Amino acid sequence: MDDWQTETCALEDATGGAICASAAAPNLRRVHGNPGALAKAVFRSRDTRAVGLHAGLEALALIDRIRFIRTLDLAFHLYPDRTLTAALAAASNLVKRMVRTHLVTAHTTRVGGMRIYGIAQRGVNLLRDYTNHEAKAHRSLKEVKHPEHRLWANLIVIAAQARGLAAMTEREVLQYERRLGEVVRNESGVECIIPKKLLTIVNHRGPGERKGLTPDALLQHGNERIWIEIDTSKRSSERVADLLELVGSIGIKMSDGTRLSRVVIFTKERRFWTHICGVLQRNVEKKIVGARSWLKATFLEGNFDVWMFQAAWQNEAYQRVRDRCVGEVQVLMLPDVRGKFEGWYDEDWLPFGQGAGHLWSLSREGQRHE
């Protein structure tokens, strides 16, 4: 049996024998951020083989994109319209089949005992054969020591795309900044690219200098950019100063011409949440240092509106006129998505809370299967 037949048999086993029934499917990849993606015919099909094939290729594409995943991530990506129990069961069955057929590799981290999965070379070959996507095998899962921060950031991106939002991971933001960058030559004539950071702030360690900030995830909701920060530990004084600079940048245009209108900080523990809320509360109703804006507390705990000072020349005098609200800061606890469905199905906290009376929808129809 040649290599191509071997790979085909492996995918048939992993996806429930779907290859022969669906090899002629025109385009099996789903466009990221498409709010109608969940309504595609393949998910409503009664042909379980076709559904299994599509799910297997979607899973491999996701793993290649974010490098390593948990079963929970697959559940949110492939089955967000199901109950969490059903979604986890389906994702678990799919992962087990892919591990058994060596499409993905598994590793249990020493810290926290998390079970993570990376794409194997056989999975790379299958993805290339059936979607023409050039993936890269993950050969260093054992070197992943503390994946929790990155896993949470990736889950926010996955949840945002299930809601129909455009989203970028931290790695994709860095690649985007590199594409925006400037090509220069050094003294030896060698070309190099200087990335163009989306947002720069004052560097408190170097007077007169500025430094770039990179979000843990970057979302787009309508015409606004949402900056996501994941805090799994308490911020130092330097990082607190950077956070205030970031908050002071809400309402301004970033280097790519888009406007930053919301910053969402997720914290792992309650004491981290209290610390960040206290920092922001101390800056309520007064000018943020180094910015043209100030904070105003809202009726929602942990939510602050950002108001910008407006000025105009009137009668040859510089006079202050009415201020306007330019954005919002939210401090949220990371939801317990594994316990009692809290945060995703009942209270719609992911990718970020919208407040009372504003619930996310999963598709254009806005329906969820209970």
DSSP run (H or E) holding 220: strand 217-221
d(CA 211, CA 16): 51
What is the model's pLDDT at position 83?
A: 76
Q: Which residue has the tokens 């929602």?
A: 300
The pLDDT score that the predictor gives to residue 41 is 39
The closest of 143, 190, 152, 148 to 73, measured between CA atoms, is 152
> Which DSSP category does 269 fall into?
S
Q: How far apart are CA 95 and CA 90, in angstroms?
A: 9
Q: Give CA–CA dist 305/307, Å, rounded.
A: 6
d(CA 334, CA 352): 10
Alpha-carbon span 146 to 327, nearest angstrom: 33
Query: Is residue 351 reached through a cis peptide bond, with omega within 30 degrees of 0 on the bond before it?
Result: yes
pLDDT score at 3:
45
Q: pTM of this prediction? A: 0.80
Please list the ranges in the chain whose pLDDT falls under 50: 1-8, 11-12, 15, 17-42, 312-317, 341, 363-370
Task: Say if residues 10 and 101 touch (Cβ distance below 8 Å).
Answer: yes
Which CATH entry fits the domain spanning 3-146: 1.10.10, 3.30.420, 1.10.20, 3.90.550?
1.10.10
Ordered by start, the domain boundaries in the chain are 3-146, 151-333
What does the longest C-alpha to C-alpha distance in the chain come to? 87
Task: Fill in the DSSP letter of residue 171.
Answer: H
Q: What b/e string do you get for 216-228 counting C-beta neighbours within 10 Å, with b at 16 or more?
A: bbbbebeeebbbb
The answer to whether the CB of 333 falls within 8 A of the CB of 267 is yes
* Secondary structure of residue 43 in the 3-state scheme: helix
**pLDDT of res. 325:** 85
SS3 236: coil
Q: In this structure, what token pair is assigned to residue 53?
A: 């094939």
Q: Rounded CA gap, 60 and 77, in Å? A: 12
Q: Three-state DSSP class for 337?
A: coil
Going by the DSSP 8-state scheme, the letter that residue 270 receives in this structure is H
